[in-house]
Amino acid sequence: MIHLAQSLMNQQLDLAAGGILRAAMEAMGVTIHLGKLTAAILGEGRVTGIAFKDESTLDCDMIVVSAGIQPNTQLALECGLTVERAVVVDNHMRSPDDLDVYVVGECAQHRA
């Protein structure tokens, strides 16, 4: 049995895309636990489970951690660039507000 516990996928997916991903994962037999914050990894010498801050637990024998970052878009906002989850870019990674500004990495959001 596979369980996924996640809380901050909103940087990668909007609400509609998240719903599509959730439905696809559940169709494959994966149980999704949303809004969970990890409190502790359980076990000594090997993983036996995970404890969440809401005091619930989940038995498991493996934990995969995928850590992301939130883009710092303050400068782009101050410069008048279009910012949603990140700085909006065109097919050439340019800001549509100023074609001399190129955006890369976690600060770029293509096709808002």
Provide the residue ranges of all domains of the chain, joining segments of one domain with +.
Answer: 2-59, 74-110
Answer whether residue 95 shows pLDDT above 70.
yes
Give the right CATH number for 2-59 from 3.50.50.60, 3.40.50.300, 3.40.190.80, 3.40.50.450: 3.50.50.60
**pTM beyond 0.85:** no
The answer to whether residues 60 and 52 touch, using CB atoms and an 8 Å cutoff, is no
Residue 73 confidence class, pLDDT cut points 50, 70, 90: very high
